[in-house]
Amino acid sequence: MESLAESLKRLTAPGKLFRVLPDARLECFACAMRCKLKGGQTGACRVRFNQGGKLMVPWGYVAGLQADPIEKKPFFHVLPGSRSLSFGMLGCCYTCDFCQNWVSSQALRDPAAGHAVRPCSPRDIVKAAADDGCLTVTSTYNEPLITSEWAVEVFGEAKKADLRCCYVSNGSATPEVLAFLRPWVDFYKVDLKCFDEGTYRRLMGGSLKAVLDSIAAMRELGFWVEVVTLLLPGVNDSERELSALARFLASVSPDIPWHVTAYHRDYRMEGPESTPAATVLKAAQLGKAAGLRYVYAGNLSGDTGGWEDTACPSCGAVLVERRGFRVMGSRLALDGSKGSCPECRRDIPGVWA
Ligand code: SF4
């Protein structure tokens, strides 16, 4: 029987995100791994490969397609209460044991993972978004950077239908891929998994510096950026590490929303069953103390007081009230896509309507 890797090789097309090196290898710059591939070699993501001097990349299928609340991505400063058509392919450049999408992301590495794939066209995806009343389409489930050429093909069709476009990503990008994405991606969510280079290398197989550089570059380029940190007890939840992480985000912009979310045991990770609510609340307080204006506690709906709501940083008025992924009410004063506090008139950053 044909393996998943063999069948996916047929769902590929020549890619764009590479350069030819003097020794004829292809340097892929879809992600910060920058694999240098000889003929016949496959990249660390296992889905991009050098075939006779062409970089072949995933194309023309989905492994997951579903309309979700945009709060689930999570984006809290983007079109609250709307739905986003989420699509994903297979594979990832990281190898996190605690991955919560491992069935998609580790499909090419782990025989226990794997996922049926369905050939489709960008039009099929955009039609599904329209049928479900979505305002956005999101590349998610696997790591979208490694399938960026396909995402841009889908987003090109989505823009024609007046949809806005999102990435839900580990943020391990390069300047080249961010320039490629900028005309198409409006909203970029980054998983900033910890604030320790050694942990990034050991647990993810990635580089903290690459992610930090990318977050700063995304803001410079004008993407709307929200950041999520999944709190792993004993791994990334020390006060010192979380404070340093929050200070970094605040130094890029105090308007970056930071979501601190509770971990539940998944995939091959051994450890505590879940992150205690007290840890999530402490992290949220550290974020505020570091100067971040919008900090949210996630994955513990109902246990986090007002930390799921958007409040005005000037007068404290609650502007968007949430429970989990549901928006219970919004009092923002709207002016086009902009929003402000109805009490003190302070502008609240984001795309609200
Ligand atoms: S996407 Fe990243 S991991 Fe995959 S081939 Fe390109 S540089 Fe390597």
Q: Is residue 170 in a domain?
A: yes
Q: Is residue 37 in a domain?
A: yes
Residue 161 sits in the same domain as residue 279: yes
Residue 164 sits in the same domain as residue 66: yes
Residue 15 sits in the same domain as residue 147: no
Q: For ligand 1, what atom is nearest to the CA of residue 43? A: 5
- For residue 80, the model assigns a pLDDT of 97
Closest CA to 339 of 314, 316, 320: 320
Q: Is residue 297 in a domain?
A: no
Tokens representing 60 are 């023309």
Q: Is residue 208 in a domain?
A: yes
Tell me if 30 CB under 6 Å of ligand 1. yes
Residue 216 sits in the same domain as residue 272: yes
- Residue 149 Cα to ligand 1 midpoint, Å, equals 13
Q: Are 46 and 108 in contact (CB under 8 A)?
A: yes
- CATH of residue 126: 3.20.20.70
Q: Is residue 295 in a domain?
A: no
Q: Is residue 296 in a domain?
A: no
Residue 158 sits in the same domain as residue 269: yes
What's the pTM?
0.94
Beta strand pairing call for 26-28 and 18-20: antiparallel
Q: Is residue 301 in a domain?
A: no
Neighbours of 223 (CB within 10 A): 21
Q: Are 88 and 63 in contact (CB under 8 A)?
A: yes
Residue 113 sits in the same domain as residue 39: no
Residue 284 sits in the same domain as residue 210: yes
Mutate to test the pocket of ligand 1, among 16, 18, 35 (most ligand atoms within 8 A of CB): 35
Distance CA 99, CA 263 (A): 10
Measuring from atom 6 of ligand 1, which residue has the nearest CA? Answer: 28
Residue 11 sits in the same domain as residue 80: no
Low-confidence ranges of the chain (pLDDT < 70): 1-2, 100-115, 266-273
Query: CB-hemisphere CA count at 13 Å for 303?
Result: 14
Q: Are 193 and 227 in contact (CB under 8 A)?
A: no
Residue 129 sits in the same domain as residue 21: no
Q: Is residue 299 in a domain?
A: no
Residue 168 sits in the same domain as residue 278: yes
The DSSP annotation for 71-106 comes to GGTT-SSBSTT-EEEEEE-S--S---TT-TTHHHHT
Measuring from atom 7 of ligand 1, which residue has the nearest CA? Answer: 34
Domain final residue, candidates 243, 259, 290: 290
Q: For ligand 1, what atom is nearest to the CA of residue 145? A: 1
Strands (E), 299-346: 310-311, 318-323, 326-330, 333-335, 338-340
Domain encompassing residue 41 = 4-58
- For residue 10, the model assigns a pLDDT of 87
Distance CA 201, CA 195 (A): 11
On the 0-12 / 13-18 / 19+ scale of CB atoms within 10 A, 45 is buried
- For residue 177, the model assigns a pLDDT of 98
Residue 34 sits in the same domain as residue 46: yes
- For residue 96, the model assigns a pLDDT of 76
Domain final residue, candidates 12, 38, 58: 58
- For residue 292, the model assigns a pLDDT of 98
Enumerate residues 6+ apart whose C-beta is below 8 A from 11: 58, 59, 60, 61, 117, 119
- Residue 46 Cα to ligand 1 midpoint, Å, equals 8
Domain final residue, candidates 290, 319, 344: 290
Residue 265 sits in the same domain as residue 221: yes
The domain tally of the chain equals: 3
- Residue 43 Cα to ligand 1 midpoint, Å, equals 5
Distance CA 7, CA 17 (A): 23
The DSSP annotation for 248-297 comes to HHHHH-TTS-EEEEE-B--TT--S-SB--HHHHHHHHHHHHHTT-S-EEE
